[in-house]
Chains A and B, each alone.
Chain A
């Protein structure tokens, strides 16, 4: 059974940093592209970032480019999202996602981690 467990969310001041982790199990982690999608309170879904399985090619939404860094540790089956220069508008639930290797759609979602950026 695929399981994705996010951690690291919390309250941070504007301009601060935070790192989200996603512990994956139940599948061959290193062979799948992974992604982060966020959802601001009461709003829709926004893709944030993606990373390929083994060559670590990364992709970012313009709204986070230069501030967020996605990475993975295949030996630990863990996905990361390092967020810096955080803004109030980054407040959201961040979902860790396992993609399908035939395309960048989102077959499995974690339960989400809430990040609140506020002074």
Chain B
């Protein structure tokens, strides 16, 4: 099983700041890495697939990068509505696995 490790667990930032969230895979997942945003009481929402492809309707301030085992979600100019838990997800191999999440507090 591919283990996904996210860091930091919690990130406290101010409005307008940028944020960098990390995700590490225990073995290569090539580019098959997605990011999701989950707000309290809501289902997760797809932000990015294939490492860097934004989903429909996702603002350009969200960007993804990386390859192999190291991935990054960058959120520029954070807004209050970006407060959420962010999960990475590898879909290169079975079983599909998620990281433990990074909580972004604004």
| A residues lining the B interface (CB < 8 Å) | 35, 44-47, 50, 59, 61-62, 95, 100, 103-112
**With known contacts A45-B87, A109-B43, A109-B44, A103–B50 Cβ distance under 8 A:** yes
Are B94 and A45 in contact, with the CB atoms below 8 A? no
Are A106 and B36 in contact, with the CB atoms below 8 A? yes
What is the interface size of chain B, counting residues whose CB is below 8 A from a CB of the partner? 23
Are A112 and B43 in contact, with the CB atoms below 8 A? yes
Please, which residue of chain A has its CB at the minimum distance from the CB of B42? A111
Residues of B within 8 A of A105 (CB): 32, 34, 46, 49-50, 89, 91
A1–B50 CA distance with the chains assembled, in angstroms: 23
Chain A residues touching B, majority SS: strand
A107–B36 CA distance with the chains assembled, in angstroms: 9
> In angstroms, how far is the closest chain B Cβ from the Cβ of A26?
14
Residues of B within 8 A of A61 (CB): 95
16 contacts between A and B (CB under 8 A): A44-B100, A45-B98, A47-B95, A59-B94, A61-B95, A100-B49, A103-B32, A103-B49, A103-B91, A105-B50, A105-B89, A105-B91, A107-B49, A108-B46, A109-B43, A109-B44
**With known contacts A44-B87, A44-B101, A45-B87, A107–B96 Cβ distance under 8 A:** no
Please, which residue of chain B has its CB at the minimum distance from the CB of A35? B96
**B39 sits at the interface (CB 8 A):** no
A17–B95 CA distance with the chains assembled, in angstroms: 24
> In angstroms, how far is the closest chain A Cβ from the Cβ of B87?
6
A111–B98 CA distance with the chains assembled, in angstroms: 19
A76–B44 CA distance with the chains assembled, in angstroms: 26
**B65 sits at the interface (CB 8 A):** no
**With known contacts A44-B100, A47-B97, A111–B43 Cβ distance under 8 A:** yes
Are A47 and B55 in contact, with the CB atoms below 8 A? no
- Interface readout for B33-63 with A: 1 if CB under 8 Å, 0 if not? 0101010000111100110000100000000
> In angstroms, how far is the closest chain B Cβ from the Cβ of A39?
8
Please, which residue of chain B has its CB at the minimum distance from the CB of A95? B43
- Interface readout for B16-46 with A: 1 if CB under 8 Å, 0 if not? 0000000000000000101010100001111
